[in-house]
Structure formats: C-alpha cells, structure tokens
C-alpha cells in the first residue's frame, strides 16, 4: 500500500492543508514565544490541534492563521495553549515524592528558621503535580498535617498555558483520575463531586497558581526549598536547556532539591553546582548560595 502524501491526507481529513512552509512558520513562532522546538514529525499534531481554531476564527487557510498570530498577541497565547502538551497524573514518578517526604520534609520540620517552606511546580499543567506535592506534605493523617500549616508552607504552580492555570485553580478532576491517588491520601485530601472529585481545601490553600513563560523574567525575590521541573526540558534545544538549568539552580536555596522528568538529565554547566541524590533528583550543597 502506498503512503499518503500530506495533500492526500488533507483531502481525506477535510479542512485546510498545512504546507511544510506554514508548519515551519508556526514552529518558528512557537520557538520565538516559548522556546519550544517542534520537530518535523509533529506536523500532524499541529494541524489537528489548530484546525478547530481556524474554524472558530472563520479562517480558510493556515496562511490566514499565521497572519493573525503574527499581529495578535492574545491569539499567539491561544496557539501556545493548544500546542503545549498537558499529559500528567497524580503521584507520577512516585520516587520523587518519596524523596520529598522521607529526605526533605524532616529537614524542614526540624529547622529553626521561621522562613516559609517554598516549593515550585514550574510546569504544573492542570495541577496534578502540585496537588500531589501538597498531599505528600500534609501526610497520611490529620495530626501529621499540622506541621504544614504551622510551617507556613507555600506551593507555587506555574504554566505557560492560561487554560492550565485555570484548571489548577479549579482543582477539580474526573472520577477516572481518583485511583491514581493512594489511600489514605485520597480519603483525607479529596472530596467527591457530582462529576468526579475536588482537592480538599487544606491542600488547595497551600497553592498559588499563575501563568509564566519559563524564559520570561521570574517574579520572585525569594528562593525555593524544592523545584519540580519535570518533562518540560524535552521540548527545548540544548541552548535553552542550559539557560533554564542555570536559572533553576540559582533559584534554589542552599540544600534545596531539583526534580526532573524520567527521561531528563542535567546537561549543562549547572550540574557542577548540584549533587545527584537519586534518579533524576539533585541537591544543591548547603554551602552554595
């Protein structure tokens, strides 16, 4: 059987065709705005995710859409929302949360400083990661949760997608995701709703969610005791990875932990300032500012 050409596929699927030149223009704009690299094999993903947007805007061609995103900053942000992948689930890569609970939490509970414990979920998607962090810190019974309230724990969730930030703030999830949360965390820190479940107020109240492009200026003067930057480096080229890694290390407090995705490793000079402490986990030495 002969393979379908792009034109053949377009004629079968309906809708506007996406030429190689138009794909490269969209990829260039995405890289310009978000430093995300789109390889040629993502052409089908781009066409499928943006075709509906063309219809919503009453546009006939991808050329028309490119002209629109070049002049309209709001539409560029909408394009980023549509093209950024948002696959996640609760307690994903469990070993990170085991390390957070068993190695980092005792340090925070015993320290004499009255500074808040600050943790950043830097590519939070729809919130499963940051609420897993919250549940991990609150623990497995109500008495254990008192430390998190008393220590003034602050969790920050950011994502480039405004739609995902809104999902974090809603903190509501389909019933099919409930089994991802182990008991007794599920019993303590979630509440059933008509269509699924919501994160309990005790966990929600620890979280502040906001939109952030990781390559823009970061708004914080303070440093973090832990940063989760997982499964996002894979979308950047080597230069962008190196830049982001150096900024993340600089934003960590001495002794802080950096958690990366399962297929990610520190690749830049930044790793000289960190100590590996497990699979895709790093600690900043106490004597490093």
103: buried, middle or exposed (CB in 10 Å: 19+, 13-18, 0-12)? middle
Residue with tokens 């190689």: 20
* Catalytic residue selected from 35, 77, 118, 159: 159
Q: Are strands 117-121 and 153-159 parallel, antiparallel or unpaired?
A: parallel
Tokens 């008393």 correspond to 150
- 53 classed as catalytic: no
Distance CA 61, CA 63 (A): 5
Residue with tokens 């966990």: 203
> What's the CA gap between 66 and 22, in Å, rounded?
8
Instruction: Give the C-alpha separation, 254 to 257, whole Å.
Output: 9
Distance separating alpha carbons of residues 125 and 118, to the nearest angstrom: 19
* 62: β partners: none
Q: Are 197 and 175 in contact (CB under 8 A)?
A: yes
Partners of 227 in the beta sheet?
120, 258
Active site annotation includes 49 = yes
| Token pair belonging to 113 | 């400083």
Return the closest-CA partner of residue 97 out of 129, 127, 144: 129
- Give 278's strand partners: 281
Distance in angstroms (rounded) separating the CA atoms of residues 260 and 266: 8
Instruction: Name the strands in the sheet holding 172-174, side by side, starting at the edge strand that comes first in the sequence.
Output: 172-174, 196-199, 190-192
List residues with catalytic annotation.
49, 159
């Amino acid at each position: 059987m002969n393979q379908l050409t792009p034109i053949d596929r377009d004629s079968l699927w309906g809708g506007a065709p996406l030429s190689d030149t138009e794909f490269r223009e969209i990829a260039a704009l995405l890289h310009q705005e978000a430093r995300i690299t789109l390889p040629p094999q993502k052409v089908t993903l781009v066409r499928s995710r943006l075709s509906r947007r063309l219809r919503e805007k009453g546009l006939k061609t991808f050329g028309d859409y490119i002209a629109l995103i070049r002049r309209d900053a709001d539409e560029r942000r909408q394009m980023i929302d549509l093209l950024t992948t948002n696959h996640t689930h609760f307690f994903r890569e469990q070993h990170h949360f085991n390390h957070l609970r068993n190695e980092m939490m005792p340090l925070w509970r015993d320290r004499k400083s009255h500074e808040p414990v600050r943790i950043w979920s830097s590519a939070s998607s729809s919130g499963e990661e940051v609420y897993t962090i919250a549940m991990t810190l609150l623990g497995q019974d109500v008495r254990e949760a008192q430390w998190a309230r008393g220590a003034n724990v602050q969790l920050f969730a950011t994502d480039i997608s405004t739609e995902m930030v809104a999902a974090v703030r809603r903190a509501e999830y389909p019933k099919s995701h409930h089994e991802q949360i182990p008991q007794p965390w599920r019993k303590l820190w979630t509440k059933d709703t008509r269509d699924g479940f919501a994160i309990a107020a005790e966990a929600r109240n620890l979280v502040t969610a906001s939109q952030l492009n990781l390559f823009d200026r970061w708004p914080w003067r303070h440093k973090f005791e832990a940063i989760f930057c997982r499964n996002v480096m894979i979308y950047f080229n080597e230069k962008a990875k190196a830049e982001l890694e150096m900024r993340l290390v600089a934003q960590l407090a001495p002794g802080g932990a950096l958690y990366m995705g399962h297929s990610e490793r520190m690749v830049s000079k930044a790793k000289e300032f960190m100590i590996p402490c497990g699979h895709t986990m790093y600690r900043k030495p106490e004597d490093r500012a």
